[in-house]
Amino acid sequence: MSPETKSKIDGLVADNKIMVFMKGNKLMPQCGFSNNVVQILNSLGVPYETLDVLANPDIRQGIKEYSSWPTIPQVYINGEFIGGSDIMIKLYQEGNLQETVEVALAS
Amino acid sequence: MISPDQVEAMIKSGLPDAEVAVQDLTGGGDHYQVAIVSTAFEGLRLVKRHQLVYKAVDSAMSSEAIHALSLETNTPSEVAAAS
């Protein structure tokens, strides 16, 4: 990963309380797993930012190394790596995601 | 594309004590669901557990032999408590 890519990711993660690296965008997710994450966050009714890795090949590769996570989507809340689609679904079903998100947005 | 046995062997190479159940979700050999029980997950959050598994299958993920891996990660004591 180039230093430019790393600092770009650093900035996105730092500047957005909820940051989603995904395929496609909120309105048109290009992958079922990315769609899961969008649907969960929409149902919580919280603001979040997305980045389309299909339009940003450097970040598509870089984020995998950055997070030690080989797949897209990837979710960061309050600068902390939360996980991908599976973990978001599990946290949502357990009711833990709402709390994490509320704490992040209040900070 | 990769066989269920290969997926199991890769995970066991990283987590020697693991009990691994592999399910091929599409029949295509690239979308897998895997349930893993290991003491290595003890005290770890979900994201750390999944990172351990991803590390074990790193070569297959980065070559995109595996496109998607759905993981269920538990410790032996969690399994005992749930049954």
pLDDT, one tens digit per residue, over A66-105 is: 999 999 999 999 999 999 999 999 999 999 999 999 999 9
The shortest CB-CB distance from B47 to any of A64, A71, A87 is to A87
Q: Specify the number of domains making up chain A.
A: 1
For residue range B2-12, list pLDDT tens digits in order.
Answer: 999 999 999 99
For residue A56, the domain's CATH number is 3.40.30.10
Structural domain that includes position A59: 3-106
Taking contacts as CB-CB distances below 8 angstroms, the residues of chain B near A81 are 47
Question: Listing from the earlier edge strand, what are the strands of the sheet with B68-74?
Answer: B19-24, B31-37, B68-74
Contact A33 B68 (CB under 8 A): yes
pLDDT tens-digit profile of A8-65?
999 999 999 999 999 999 999 999 999 999 999 999 999 999 999 999 999 999 999 9
Task: Taking each helix axis as running N to C, give the angle between helix A96-106 and helix A32-44, from 0 to 180 degrees, rounded to the nearest 10.
Answer: 70
Which pTM does this prediction carry?
Answer: 0.87
ipTM confidence: 0.75
Q: Which residues pair with A49 in a beta bridge?
A: A19
Residues of B in contact with A71 (CB under 8 A): 61, 68-69
A-chain residues near B71 (CB < 8 A): 86
Task: Give contacts of B58 with chain A, Cβ < 8 Å.
Answer: 70
3-state secondary structure chain B: CCCHHHHHHHHHHHCCCCEEEEEECCCCCCEEEEEEECHHHCCCCHHHHHHHHHHHCHHHHHCCCCCEEEEEEECHHHHHHHC
> What confidence tens digit (pLDDT) does each residue in B16-60 have?
999 999 999 888 888 899 999 999 999 999 999 999 999 999 989
Q: Which residue out of A1, A23, A66, A68 would a mutagenesis test of the B interface target, given it has the greatest number of B Cβ atoms within 10 Å? A: A68
**Which CATH number does the domain B4-75 belong to among 3.30.300.90, 3.40.640.10, 3.30.70.260, 3.10.580.10?**
3.30.300.90
- CB-based contact A87 B50, cutoff 8 Å: yes
Domain ranges of chain B: 4-75
